[in-house]
Chain A
Amino acid sequence: MRSALILAFFFFSTAPKPVFETLTVSQTGITFVHDNAKSERRYLPESMGPGVAIFDFDNDGWMDLYFTNSGPADFFGPKKPLRNALYRNNHDGKFIDVTEKAGVRGRDFGIGVTTCDYNNDGWTDLFLTNYGTNVLYRNNGDGTFTDVTEQAGLNRPGLYTAAVFFDFDNNGTQDLFVGHFVKWSKSLERDCTQKGVPHYCYPLTYDPWPSSLYRNNGNGTFTDVSDRSGIGKQMGKTFGAVATDVNNDGLLDLFVANDSVANFLFVNKGDGKFEEAGLEAGVAYNSDGAARSGMGVDAADYNNDGWQDLFVANFNREKFSIYRNRKDGTFADDSGVTGIAMATHMFSGWGVKFFDFNHDGYQDLIVCNGHPDDLIETLSSTLTYKEPILLFENQGGKFVKLDPGKAGEAFGRNYPARGLAVGDLDNDGFPDVVIANSGEAPLVLRNTGSAAASNGWAGLKLAGNPTGALITWSAGGVRHSRLKTSGGSYLSAHDPRELLGFGPFFKADWIEVKWPAPISKVDRFENVKAGRYYALRAGGKLQ
């Protein structure tokens, strides 16, 4: 009897699989290793990157990957040539490096990346933020890209971070916000020596600088409307930015996380102008009126009330912010009641994403962390340079941190993480995660589907990737909604498809897509079967 019990224990009582498993280099084929250009002097841009993008550059229906890397700059001469990396999804779990063939090595000192079909030709393009001049790579549709930065009018140098494509004027073309960090060059670097050793300086020591907004002219060029829109009049230190509609007026607004100065909430007035309303909205400072170090950012309706809420990953001891939309133009910082505040108290957060990892229909949350100062452990016994990734399950509006046993072994380790992108790399309907580490190889986390095994889902690929589209659905009589935001996280771009969780139901009662202006149509579908991706054009059928 006893031996039968032991046998039963070993052979039948296997622990449930964790949510994520870590994929190795031999599994993915991704050999890219970021070079953060770390110097004895500790120049600011060294601590900022890298970013990662999940996107389908060859329209084969499988998500490819793009990683940014550092490169030559006034403070850095690489000993060997450095380049960014584009990996094509080989449909078998492996990725093939096609950077050279595609012509997307990047240039200058690479920081971040975003993706968008800016010219509406059906092929997703790449935009890179740099210390130096940014890069717009137009996708030629044949596996190659062309650098069109100059002809597009996007070649102003600076120290850039977040980039967000969104259609602020609802004319059907994607405009571009480019976040600028502080006023910086090698000659402006500060001396932050402590105990005789140079450290990376806190952003407080640098002067702020405005970010830029470019209107897409629809002919491959952009017009700088920074001043006209009001966005260029605000001096910030931008790290993260997300385009969302905070007041449900059909116009995309922009939430910008700044480091050491107030965050910005640019409310779209609809006449080409934005009003900065961060202070009035309650998202600029903490409740004591202190600016925090906003880095990663995201927007989603985490409490399913139909209004967009905001999230900011801050510096250690500042606690991260989760701003609940009060539906009156203001927000309440619910980091305490949601459990976010204390769970994030000791971390410095970068890449972040609301996503429904278990398909229960509610937005969960992942944040990757890492102290910007690689020498912090010489100054503090409490803080570490590498920090853990945090996975939170949304349990009725409370965010419960999953331990590594449930989340996956990667969540029990520390990383020098920066960029984070979420996407379904293997098209199994479960969102995977890629994290770009500073000075290290990226981390690829495969969603095992174990947490979502008893839940239904459907994927939706909207033609034209229309930011501002509102997807609502009902499963088992429970209504959910998802606004198609743009940007968010940190220096990174997510899979543009939307995964809709049905909870314990294997069909949706209905799915409705409200397309943004200028389309302004509503498509509705009844009894949608779970377990597959659907493509949809405005006015068309689910394919």
Chain B
Amino acid sequence: MIWLAAFLLAAAAAEHYTRANAYFGQQRFTEAEAELVAALHEDPNLVAALTLKGKLAMALNRFDEAREAFVRAGELQPKSAYVQFLLGFFYYVDNDFQKAIPALEIARQLNPNDSRAVFYLALSQDGLGAADAAVPLYEKTIELEKSGGHPTPDVHVAYARLLFSLGRYEDAEKQVMLALGLDPKSRDAHYELGRLWFEKGEFAKAAAEGEIALAIPGVGTLDRQIHFLLARSYAKAGRKDLADYHLAKFKAAGVSLRR
């Protein structure tokens, strides 16, 4: 009898979770949340519901709630690569790189072929300024993505930004070119290439790449960043009219603070 009750509760929880997941996919967050509350009421230890709750809370910018959900899920399923990845990913997004690293390391150990875990490990080490640790992790991510048949430009761009920070401009350029080989319409990659040309003193080429980046829609690199690159590049290239135009656009875009 007790077994049957438990089964029914679990089944009910799973049903609520399934509906919550569907709502989440449709970005109907209010409905998703209601279903999740019901699911976790039936089964507070339903890991899938906890991880979904964490993802939903992140989407709603409720990071304390997300942390609680992911930590609980991690405690319930310490051997789940996916759960540990989500926990590490959460800490990374929350800028808590120190806590992200152990969770991502576990995820990587549990699933050595998961390029995402390695990528976020690289980003976390990068975020901590540990370039020596980050560089081989970026390399490993690229290797895993390649062997998995799904190379992405984002890894190359992120790696290029680190190499740029290290002053390794030639290596950074190689990564940017690889990114552009994977996606010739990568706004981020064109922007990074523009920054590299600027550093090399090739201002006309920097401006050309900036213009390409600006024409490509995207959310990673901001228009403000590109206008800044263009303003500097045109100024150096002797095109005061265009420099002034982009400077005005840059200033109009408002305050940006890197923190």
A: which residues have CB within 8 A of B?
202, 204, 260-261, 279-280, 282, 285-293, 315, 317-319, 330, 332, 334-338, 341-346, 380-382
A381 near B99: Cβ-Cβ < 8 Å: yes
Check A286 against B99 for contact (C-beta < 8 Å): no
Some 26 contacts from A to B, beta carbons below 8 A apart, are A204-B257, A260-B255, A260-B257, A282-B232, A285-B228, A288-B225, A288-B256, A289-B250, A290-B225, A291-B256, A291-B258, A292-B258, A293-B257, A293-B259, A315-B259, A317-B95, A338-B167, A341-B165, A341-B167, A342-B129, A343-B129, A346-B128, A346-B129, A380-B96, A381-B99, A382-B97
**Which of A285, A334, A335 has the most CB atoms of chain B within a 10 A radius of its CB?**
A285
Residues of B within 8 A of A342 (CB): 129, 131, 165-166
Q: Give the shortest distance, in Å, between B112 (CB) and chain A (any CB).
A: 26
B227 / chain A contacts, CB cutoff of 8 Å: 289
User: Contacts A289-B227, A342-B129 hold; do A336 and B98 have CB atoms under 8 A apart?
Assistant: no
Residues in B73-121 with C-beta less than 8 Å from chain A: 95-99
Question: Do B96 and A381 touch across chains, with their CB atoms under 8 A apart?
Answer: yes
Other A-B pairs beyond A341-B165, A345-B129, A381-B98, 11, CB < 8 Å: A279-B247, A289-B228, A289-B250, A291-B257, A292-B257, A292-B258, A345-B128, A346-B128, A380-B95, A382-B97, A382-B128
Chain A residues with Cβ under 8 A from B128's Cβ? 345-346, 382
Q: Which residue of B lies closest to A338 (CB)?
A: B167
Complex alpha-carbon distance, A381 and B99, angstroms: 7
Q: Determine whether the beta carbon of A336 is less than 8 Å from that of B258.
A: no
B205 close to chain A: CB less than 8 A? no
B255 adjacent to A261 (CB under 8 Å):
yes
Interface residues of B in 144-177 (CB under 8 A from A): 164-168
CB neighbours of B247 from chain A (8 A) = 279
- The 8 Å CB contact of A286, one of B224, B235, B250, B258, is B258
Q: At the interface, yes or no: B36 with Cβ under 8 Å from chain A?
A: no
Chain B contacts for A291, CB-based, 8 A = 255-258
Chain B proximity of A331: nearest CB distance (Å): 12
Closest CB in chain B relative to A244 CB, distance in Å: 23
Taking a contact as CB atoms under 8 Å apart, the answer to whether A318 and B99 are in contact is no
In Å, the complex CA distance between A381 and B95 comes to 9
Q: CA separation between A204 and B166, bound complex, in Å?
A: 28
Q: Which residues of A contact B164 (CB under 8 A)?
A: 336
| Shortest Cβ gap from A322 to chain B (Å) | 11
* 10 tightest Cβ-Cβ pairs between the two chains A and B: A345-B129, A289-B228, A337-B167, A336-B167, A290-B258, A382-B98, A290-B256, A381-B98, A342-B131, A288-B225
The interface centre, meaning the residue of A315, A317, A330, A335 with most chain B CB atoms within 10 A of its CB, is A317
In the bound complex, CA of A290 to CA of B199 (Å) = 17
Inter-chain contacts of B231 with A (CB < 8 A): 279
Select B199's contact among A279, A285, A332, beta carbons within 8 Å: A332
Within 8 A of A (CB), among B164-203: 164-168, 195, 198-199
Query: Nearest Cβ in chain B — how far from A247, in angstroms?
Result: 17
Distance in angstroms between the alpha carbons of A341 and B134 in the assembled complex = 15
Interfacial chain A residues near B142, Cβ < 8 Å: none
Hey, which chain A residues are within 8 Å of B166, CB to CB?
336-337, 341-342
Query: Which B residues form the contact surface with A (CB < 8 A)?
Result: 95-99, 127-129, 131, 164-168, 195, 198-199, 224-225, 227-229, 231-232, 235-236, 247, 250, 255-259
Closest B residue to A287 by beta carbon equals B195
Shortest beta-carbon distance from A241 to chain B in Å: 20
Q: Which residues of B contact A293 (CB under 8 A)?
A: 257, 259
A318 to B164, CA, bound (A): 14
- B107 → A minimal CB distance (Å): 18
Q: Closest residue of chain B to A341, judged by CB?
A: B165
- On whether the beta carbons of A318 and B96 are closer than 8 Å, the reply is no
Complex Cα distance, B63 from A380, in Å, reads 13
Identity of the chain B residue whose Cβ is nearest the Cβ of A328 in the assembled complex: B236
Closest beta carbon of chain A to B215's beta carbon, Å: 18
- A346 and B126 alpha carbons, distance in the complex (Å): 11
Given contacts A289-B250, A332-B199, A336-B165, whether A317 and B255 have CB atoms under 8 Å apart is: no
> Hey, which chain A residues are within 8 Å of B228, CB to CB?
285, 288-289
Asked whether A334 and B255 contact (CB < 8 A) given A288-B225, A342-B129, the answer is no
Contacts of A341 in B (CB 8 A): 165-167
**How far, in Å, is A125 (CB) from chain B's closest CB?**
38
Q: Least Cβ distance of B242 to chain A in Å?
A: 15
Distance in angstroms between the alpha carbons of A315 and B256 in the assembled complex: 14
The interface residues of chain A lying within 8 Å CB-to-CB of B199 are 332
The CA of A286 and the CA of B199, in the complex, are separated in Å by 13
Shortest beta-carbon distance from B43 to chain A in Å: 30
Verify B167–A317 contact, CB threshold 8 A. no
When C-beta atoms are compared, the residue in chain B nearest to A259 turns out to be: B257
A343 to B98, CA, bound (A): 17
Q: Give Cα distance in the complex from A286 to B255, angstroms.
A: 13
Report how far A285 CA is from B255 CA in the complex, Å.
11
Asked if B258 contacts A318 (CB within 8 A), the reply is yes
Alpha-carbon distance between A396 and B111 when the two chains are bound, in angstroms: 45
CB < 8 Å neighbour of A204 from B97, B229, B255 = B255
Smallest CB separation, A468 vs chain B (Å)? 29
Min Cβ gap A190→B in Å is 16
Residues of B with C-beta under 8 A to A282: 232
Which of A287, A289, A344 makes the CB contact (< 8 A) with B224?
Answer: A289
Partner of A317 from B131, B195, B259 at Cβ < 8 Å: B259
CA distance A293 to B255 in the complex (A): 13
Q: Which residues of A contact B257 (CB under 8 A)?
A: 204, 260, 290-293
Task: Output the least CB separation between B5 and chain A (Å).
Answer: 40
Contact between A289 and B235 (Cβ–Cβ < 8 Å)? Answer: no
CA distance A261 to B256 in the complex (A): 9
Complex CA distance for A202 and B259, rounded to whole angstroms: 11
Which residue in chain B gives the minimum CB-CB distance to A343? B129
Q: Which residues of B contact A290 (CB under 8 A)?
A: 225, 256-258
Output the residue of A289, A319, A343 with the most chain B CB within 10 A: A289
